[in-house]
Structure 1
Amino acid sequence: MTTRTIDLRSLGRATLARQGLLERRPGAVEPVVAAVLGLQSQLPDAPYLALAARLDGFDFAHLTGALNEHTVVRSTLMRGTLHLVTADDFRWLRPTVQPAIERVFRSGFTKRLGGADVEAVLTAADELLAERALTHADLKAALGERFGHDDPAALAYTVQYRRMLVHMPPAGQWARGGRVYARPADNVIGTLSSADPVELIRRHLRAFGPATARDVQAWSGLSGLDDIAAQMSDEVEWFDGPDGQRLLDLSGLARPDADVPAPVRLLPEFDSLLLAHHDRRRVMTDEVRARVCVGSAVAATVLVDGVVDGIWTWARRRGGIEVRPLRRWSKAVRACVEAEGARLLELAGTPQYDLTIGEPD
């Protein structure tokens, strides 16, 4: 078996290309959401900003329409966090990552549940959700009353993590807050599929590769993928990467030259590009990572030449975008950042607002 070498810059260019961040993809929302294997959605506005960076001709109404039609759905997925994925991908992806979601549940709620009969709680929730969509508060109140538990919120979270629910619109839509209603996924998008960890690895490589099995595990929250990856020898090729890492990629996938230009892009908070690998140095140094990923937060970032080189915020109260470079930028880079910001403000329907670029720390 022939093994080639690959460096960080080449890894970065490959991932950027697959994420539509070297060149925006044409077409509809659903194929792009599928190609990038979902969008982080802890913050409801973030997927709109993520698609603005990746999709040519994007209009915020396109994603809102996809959510209304349930061709794209919002749910708890990778690492037990909220994502938007296509309905087709949800059918196999949620069953595949369910073990990781249940591990998150056990670590956070086992003690809080005490001696509660979890199966009885889930059965009761199934009966309630069969009648109508419910909020977390609805479940908390109904289950707390029925079971007389000291921590009714833990009962509601049991349903959130153990049952495969999707959020109902307008949850997950641009500038729409308020209560989040959920229903069982099979009532909304039809029958779900079986878990498919091999497909998980394939799709991660198509969206974020080349990668190590540890990268796929860090992104998905699953464990034990090394053995599965090792069994895919007939469809992958291997690379020797930085620090002796062994990376795999699907055979035949394009990997751009390391010197291919990478345009400036503005990415939202928690963007999947920054969370898809255990070793994130292909898109940000460890020093930059310490400034971008603080506690459980992941800042909105500016990509310059394919790596994180700035942080930005949407200053809603004052209006506009505020950018903080992580180093001093040339006039050409500043002009590209201003153009990207103006495009984003136009898409959001706020072209009257300004983008301001501060000085690096």
Structure 2
Amino acid sequence: MTVLSARALNRATLARQYLLERTGAPVREAVAHLCGLQAQEPQEPFTGLWSRLHAFTPDRLDRALTGRHVVRTHLMRRTVHLVTGDDALAWRSRHDAMLRQRVLATYRRELAGIDPGEVAAAGRAVMADHRPRTMTELVREVQDRRPGPPRRALGELLVAALVPMAQLPPRGLWQTKAGVRNLPLATWLGREPDPLPDGADDPVGQQLVRRYLAAYGPAASADIRAWSGLAGLPAAVEALRDELVVFRDERGRKLLDLPDAPRPSPETPAPVRFLPAFDNAILGYHDRGRVIDEAHLGLSVAGLRAVLVDGRVAATWTTHERRLRVTPLRPLFSREREAVGEEAGNLAAFLDQDIDEVEFTAPAATVG
């Protein structure tokens, strides 16, 4: 069985995430290929797409959101993702049980004894007038019908688990600050989410596995589970065995992949790329070692934005007082620092937030 080095896995990830070479794909097509972008921080997907798409401009994503081609909704791992409308409708029912379980586990004490079916019915009745509501407004009207648990817990259960919701624009539009207004996906997109099929077959799970491998593979079953939050995909993986190829990584883990998916040479040059907070190129794996060193794993869940140098997380970045600040996590060679500075300048021009300086901060050290 072929063993793939960490560097080979890194280059495969970069290629499939459009981080090795930017793509000319339309926004909707790119979001679909990436299986969505994590988007609980509303402005972060703009940087994620800028780093992946040729000549990306913010109005392209704005039009996709207002045109209902892409939508903000709770999905994988119970986090807000930016996904295509088609994927939101196709995948939501497959995630329902996980979403419900995670909310009930988080608010175990507050939600003890409630009947999720009754709460869901009350929520749908409130939203039947097709009027967008904040979570607070929805909970208030539901509790007018039936007193319930604390508002925060009830609100999370309703909007993140029981009633498939879209977060409507202007939330998520370029440089726009707007609160969350919810509307059922079925109302916003014009049809109900696809129901789960009866029987043992799991075509939705199989599609998720294929789509995940196309954007993240080669990967282990544990990686698929970490990305999706779903524990029930082994049967889907098993059903696809005959159409997948198998590798091992340097630790002996079995990795699955699509036969014709790109696996570039480990020696393929990788350009500097700036990633937004919570980017799935890092978070989309159980074993994130192909992209980030173990010593820095905490950065990936702390909301820090990462800079890839030679395909790996080598710095963090932020904007502050008209400066784009880059903080290296290791000494940078002169050529690396120059490349980071050049791409930082490009990003500053894209962000257009009166940024007039790129600044390297400690512990930046240049060698060579």
Give the shorter-chain TM-score range: over 0.9
Equivalent-residue separation in structure 2 for 1:353 and 1:94 (angstroms): 43
1:94-118, Cα deviation, whole Å (9 max, x unpaired)? 2222222122112013421233343
Match of 2:80 among 82, 85, 110: 82
TM-score, reference length from structure 1 = 0.94
Asked if the contact 1:44/1:175 (under 8 Å) is kept, the reply is no
Q: Distance in 2 between matches of 1:58 and 1:178?
A: 23
Could you tell me whether the CA contact under 8 Å between 2:2 and 2:247 is conserved in 1?
yes
3-state SS, counterpart of residue 289 of structure 2: coil
Structure 2 residue aligned with 1:18, among 16, 19, 33? 16
Structure 2: give runs of 5+ residues left out of the alignment.
197-203
| Mapped contact 1:39–1:83 kept (Cα < 8 A) | yes
**Alignment gaps of 5+ in structure 1:** none
| Residue equivalent to 1:144 | 143
Cα separation, 1, equivalents of 2:205 and 2:266: 30
Q: Is the 8 A contact 2:19 2:52 kept in 1?
A: yes
Q: Given residue 307 of structure 1, which amino acid in structure 2 is its aligned partner?
A: R
1:200 to 2:208 alignment: yes
Question: Please, which of 324, 336, 339 is the counterpart of residue 336 of structure 1?
Answer: 339
User: Secondary structure of the equivalent of 1:111?
Assistant: coil
Q: Choose which of 124, 127, 132 in structure 2 pairs with 1:126.
A: 124
1:132-211 to 2 correspondences below 5 Å = 132-160=131-159, 161-189=161-189, 190-195=191-196, 196-211=204-219
Match among 312, 315, 331 for residue 310 of structure 1? 315
- TM-fit CA distance, 1:136: 0.6
Matched, 1:321 2:324: yes
User: Counterpart amino acid of 1:360?
Assistant: P
Q: Does 1:232 align with 2:240?
A: yes
In 2, Cα distance between the equivalents of 1:333 and 1:165? 44
What is the DSSP-based 3-state SS (H/G/I as helix, E as strand, rest coil) of the residue aligned with 1:20? coil
Paired-residue identity, %: 34
Report the equivalent of 1:265: 273
Q: Distance in 1 between matches of 2:5 and 2:95?
A: 30
SS at match of 1:350: coil
Cα distance in 2 between the residues matched to 1:158 and 1:240: 40
Letter in 1 for 2:127: L
**Partner amino acid, structure 2, of 1:301:** A
Equivalent-residue separation in structure 1 for 2:155 and 2:283 (angstroms): 28
Alpha-carbon spacing, 1:72–1:325, altered in 2? closer, same or farther (3 Å)? same
- 1:231 is displaced (CA, Å) by 2.4
CA 1:231 to 1:352, structure 2 compared with 1: closer, same or farther past 3 Å? closer
Deviations 1:129-165 (A, max 9, x none): 1211111110122223332335133222221111111
Please tell me whether the aligned partners of residues 143 and 152 of structure 1 are also in contact (alpha carbons under 8 angstroms): no
Which residue is equivalent to 1:96? 94
Aligned residue for 1:114? 112
Gap change, CA 1:304 and 1:136, over 3 Å in 2: same
Equivalences for 1:26-45 in 2 at 5 Å?
Answer: 26-45=24-43
Give 3-state SS (helix, strand or coil) of 1:107's partner: helix
Structure 2 partner of 1:219 = 227
Q: Residue 332 of structure 2: SS of its match in structure 1?
A: coil
- Give, in angstroms, the shift of residue 352 of structure 1: 4.4
Flag the 1:314–1:123 CA change in 2: closer, same or farther, 3 A: same
**Hey, what's the Cα distance between the residues in 1 that align with 2:187 and 2:104?**
26
**CA root-mean-square deviation:** 1.6
| Alignment CA distance shift 1:220-1:156 (3 Å) | same
Deviation readout 1:305-342 (Å, 9 max, x if unpaired): 00000011122xx1231110011112221221122122
Structure 2 CA distance for aligned equivalents of residues 351 and 20 of structure 1: 28
2:329, 2:363 within 8 Å by CA — same for their partners in 1? yes
1:297 equivalent in alignment to 2:302: yes
